[in-house]
């Protein structure tokens, strides 16, 4: 039996994509699940999963869902803030202000609301807990056309860093996790974006052609081992202050092509 059997995990944005994939792997490991998204995730056995339609931009709704999960299962051990959006894509000066506000409401405030709800629960019970906020390589790499996405993921990283310090005494281990490239509906949107709106689109189309993706199962297993693990127990080689993590490339992926060696300099006259 999995060492995680009976533990309780909450996943936001769990109706599709990475969130749905995380839920499947967690369930196979015997975990009890609280799953929410704007579209209610597929119904599961009520003894092992509680599902609800929740807009993460609504702090009261997120808090109410957290309380419902605790009432149903008794506690939460792992909280994954996965809900997020990519649009609008394109130059910042051309972006719709309403779409920009919605983007930051989901990607930043949604993480804030989930984080706060989990921390309030953790403060009220004994033991440790793991928080995983889904980030991105875009948090540290600027992409033209992704001003909102890069900024929101950078905010997620810093929010996680601060909360990890604030709540260490409450037993919180917090991680901003970049999952690598996972082939989801978001990747479909990226690949369909015109190059004039997103100049780096050719890279993502190449990754699709090569099948160079991390699977949701691979990401989930990384979370279980590295982030949840024996929560609060430090293993040799662990850096207890490490908050920002990147899921390594999944074995079997095509190897990245090495750039050609530089041309030798012309001889001086």
> Is there a catalytic annotation at residue 152?
no
User: Other C-beta atoms within 10 Å of 143: how many?
Assistant: 18
**Judging by DSSP bridges, how do beta strands 244-246 and 78-81 pair with one another?**
unpaired
> Is there a catalytic annotation at residue 128?
no
Handedness of CA 21, 248, 258, 147 (dihedral sign): positive
Q: For 8-183+215-246, CATH number?
A: 3.40.50.720
Q: How far is residue 38's CA from residue 40's CA, in Å, rounded to a whole number?
A: 6
pTM (predicted TM-score): 0.89
List 15, 135, 136, 152, catalytic entry: 135
Q: How far is residue 188's CA from residue 192's CA, in Å, rounded to a whole number?
A: 6
Query: Is residue 30 exposed (0-12), middle (13-18) or buried (19+ Cβ within 10 Å)?
Result: middle
pLDDT of residue 258: 42
Q: How far is residue 176's CA from residue 157's CA, in Å, rounded to a whole number?
A: 5
pLDDT of residue 107: 98
Cα–Cα distances in angstroms (integers) from residue 255 to residues 20, 127, 184, 246, 251, in the given order = 27, 41, 21, 17, 10
pLDDT of residue 269: 38
Query: b/e string for 207-228 if b means 16 or more Cβ within 10 A?
Result: bbeeebbbbbebbbbbbbebbb
pLDDT of residue 257: 45
Q: Which of 238, 143, 255, 152 is nearest to 199 (CA)?
A: 143
pLDDT of residue 243: 97
List 15, 136, 152, 153, catalytic entry: 153
List 15, 136, 143, 149, catalytic entry: 149
pLDDT tens, residue order, the chain (269 aa): 678 999 999 999 999 999 999 999 999 999 999 999 999 998 666 679 999 999 999 999 999 999 999 999 999 999 999 999 999 999 999 999 999 999 999 999 999 999 999 999 999 999 999 999 999 999 999 999 999 999 999 999 999 999 999 999 999 999 999 999 998 888 999 999 999 999 999 999 999 899 889 999 999 999 999 999 865 444 444 555 689 999 999 998 655 544 444 444 444 43
> Is there a catalytic annotation at residue 153?
yes
Whether 106 contacts 55, CB under 8 Å = no
User: DSSP letters along 36-50, please?
Assistant: EESSPPPP--TTTEE
Q: How many CA atoms lie within 13 A of 119 on its CB side?
A: 23
């Amino acid at each position: 039996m999995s060492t995680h059997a009976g533990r309780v995990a909450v996943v936001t944005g769990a109706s599709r994509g990475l969130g749905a994939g995380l839920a499947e792997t967690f369930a196979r490991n015997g975990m009890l699940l609280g799953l929410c998204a704007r579209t209610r995730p597929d119904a599961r056995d009520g003894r092992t999963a509680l599902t609800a339609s929740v807009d993460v931009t609504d702090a009261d709704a997120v808090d109410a869902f957290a309380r419902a999960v605790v009432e149903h299962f008794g506690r939460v051990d792992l909280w994954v803030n996965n809900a997020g959006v990519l649009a609008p894509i394109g130059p910042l000066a051309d972006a719709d202000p309403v779409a920009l506000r919605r983007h930051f409401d989901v990607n930043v405030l949604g993480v804030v609301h989930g984080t706060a709800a989990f921390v309030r629960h953790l403060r009220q019970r004994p033991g440790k807990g793991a928080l995983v906020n889904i980030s991105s390589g875009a948090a540290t790499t600027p992409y033209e056309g992704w001003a909102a996405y890069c900024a929101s993921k950078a905010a997620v990283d810093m929010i996680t860093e601060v909360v990890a310090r604030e709540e260490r005494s409450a037993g919180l281990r917090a991680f901003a996790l970049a999952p690598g490239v996972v082939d989801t509906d978001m990747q479909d949107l990226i690949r369909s974006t015109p190059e004039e709106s997103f100049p780096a689109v050719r890279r993502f189309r190449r990754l699709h052609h090569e099948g160079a993706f991390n699977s949701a199962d691979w990401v989930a297993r990384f979370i279980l081992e590295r982030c949840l693990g024996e929560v609060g127990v430090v293993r040799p080689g662990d850096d207890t202050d490490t908050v920002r993590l990147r899921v390594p490339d999944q074995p079997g992926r095509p190897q990245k092509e090495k750039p050609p060696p530089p041309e030798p300099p012309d001889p001086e006259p």
